[in-house]
Amino acid sequence: MFCTLRFYQGIAIVTVLACLLSGAKLAHAQLSVIGNWEGGTGDGWFDWQDGLNVDDPSEAGRYTFNNTIGATIGNYSIGFTGSGYDQDLSVKLQNNYPTDPVTNHPEWRPLFFENKAFAIDITYGPYTATQNATGGYQQMYEMDLNAPGYGFKDVFAGNAPIASTEVGFTAGVASPAQTLTLSYNYGALIGSGATQIATNASYVEFILATNGDSTHDNFYFDNARFYTPGDMNNDGHVDAGDIKAMELALTNPTAYKNTYFNGNSNFVLSDLATLGDVNGDGKFNNADVQALSSYLIAGNGSTSTVPEPASLTLLGFATATLLWAARKKRK
């Protein structure tokens, strides 16, 4: 970005005020939790099969909030019980129509468009006398995404993020409990194409589908969130500043959390596996540093910017100079 200098009566009148501010956009694409089910609340999620909110009294036999396992953020997760294929835990990001009894979330809809990925932690329970006996099966079968123009689609379509599985297929081997993270980078879906989701779409829906036999029918969910892979310092941008943060996250995760997420209840250390997985291989390691570097060298990264510290100093100098020159002219 280039700005001009004009000289008036020997004083440099810096006409960069508008130039600097034109590049100052607020960052919004930050890690945002949209479901942690703390304190036994449904967080506005609903069951796709019967259309009721998960904390509706009628759902007591399907969803539980107490004595759950696999909590990855806070102290609670939400438990679901259902054998066979079942489209169950779901969320609507749209206006709350008066005729719709399900809680909708217009306030979460912008988070979908400002970020690029969705993730949720899923736990299969441990062996008990009646659950998860040897044999049988348990799996997260699919995740559906629904939006106007885009339609209702299984976003994995048989290509689950965990190689050679349908999102964590387990054949009677869940002792102790097994926690997996289902993640999906939907960034390429947002746009104006015929098969994309327009940013003015009136609604977006996520639907999770489970599948298990009668002795493998307990699933636990926690830490549903939107995020942008590579935004390691959580400032709403993917840029060169994230490389330093990523290196710290790899060498000292606790120091990383204290530096970039101190006091931020949305972040837990398990989020590193999703935030840092830039190359999409399901892991966070040194290969992601190279992937992020290559991504930025190729001219990618966030288009929104904020003034650099030096620019802020220049902005203050320019303002003071303009005020000084104005006073002198009046005299």
Whole-angstrom distance, CA of residue 149 vs CA of residue 194: 7
Give the residue-averaged pLDDT of 224-243.
94
Q: Is 223 found in the same domain as 136? A: yes
Q: Is 103 found in the same domain as 79? A: yes
Lowest-confidence pick of 64-78, 86-100, 205-219, 262-276: 86-100
Q: Which residue has the higher pLDDT, 250 or 20?
A: 250
Reported as a single tens digit per residue, the pLDDT across 92-124 is: 998 666 667 677 888 899 999 999 999 999 988
Q: Is 59 found in the same domain as 146? A: yes
Is 73 in contact with 269 (CB distance < 8 Å)?
A: no
Q: Is 143 found in the same domain as 275? A: no
pLDDT band for position 318 (cuts 50, 70, 90)? very low
pLDDT band for position 170 (cuts 50, 70, 90)? low
Point out the domain boundary residue: 211, 228, 245: 228
Give the residue-averaged pLDDT of 188-214.
90
Q: Is 101 found in the same domain as 9? A: no
Q: Report the pLDDT value the prediction gives residue 157, as an integer from 0 to 100.
A: 62
| Side-chain half-sphere exposure of 265, counting CA atoms within 13 A | 6
Q: Is 243 found in the same domain as 147? A: no
22 has pLDDT over 90: no
Q: Report the pLDDT value the prediction gives residue 120, as an integer from 0 to 100.
A: 92
pLDDT band for position 164 (cuts 50, 70, 90)? very low
Give the residue-averaged pLDDT of 140-158.
85
Lowest-confidence pick of 22-36, 60-74, 92-106, 277-291: 22-36
173 has pLDDT over 60: no
One-letter-per-residue 3-state SS of the chain: CCCCEEEECCEEEECCHHHHHHCCCCCCCCCEEEECCHHHCCCCCEECCCCCECCCHHHCCCEECCCCCCCCCCCCCEEEECCCCEEEEEEEEECCCCCCCCCCCCCCHHHHHHCCEEEEEEEECCCCCCCCCCCCCEEEEEEEEEECCCEEEECCCCCCCCCCCCCCCECCCCCCCEEEEEEEECHHHECCCCCCECCCCCEEEEEEEEEECCCCCEEEEEEEEEECCCCCCCCCCCCCHHHHHHHHHHHCHHHHHHHHCCCCCCCCHHHHHHHCCCCCCCCCCHHHHHHHHHHHHCCCCCCCCCCCHHHHHHHHHHHHHHHHHHHHHHC
The enclosing domain of 132 has a CATH number of 2.60.120.260
Q: Report the pLDDT value the prediction gives residue 281, as an integer from 0 to 100.
A: 82
58 has pLDDT over 60: yes
Q: Is 297 found in the same domain as 318? A: no
Q: Is 251 found in the same domain as 213? A: no
224 has pLDDT over 70: yes
Integer CA distances (angstroms), 283 to 165, 168, 181, 261, 280, in order? 16, 15, 11, 21, 7
Q: Report the pLDDT value the prediction gives residue 295, as an integer from 0 to 100.
A: 93
Q: Is 51 found in the same domain as 96? A: yes
Point out the domain boundary residue: 213, 228, 243: 228
pLDDT band for position 212 (cuts 50, 70, 90)? confident
Q: Is 243 found in the same domain as 268? A: yes
Point out the domain boundary residue: 185, 202, 228: 228
In 3D, which of 321, 301, 305, 227 has the Cα closest to residue 271?
A: 227
pTM, full prediction: 0.79
29 has pLDDT over 80: no
Q: Is 314 found in the same domain as 278? A: no
Structural domain harbouring 15: 5-24+307-330
Q: How many domains does the chain have?
A: 3
230 has pLDDT over 70: yes
11 has pLDDT over 80: no
In 3D, which of 285, 293, 284, 249 has the Cα closest to residue 267?
A: 249
Q: Report the pLDDT value the prediction gives residue 326, as an integer from 0 to 100.
A: 42
158 has pLDDT over 70: no
Percent of the chain with pLDDT over 90: 45
Lowest-confidence pick of 127-131, 185-189, 226-230: 127-131
Is 118 in contact with 77 (CB distance < 8 Å)?
A: no
Q: Is 289 found in the same domain as 196? A: no
Q: Report the pLDDT value the prediction gives residue 134, as an integer from 0 to 100.
A: 62
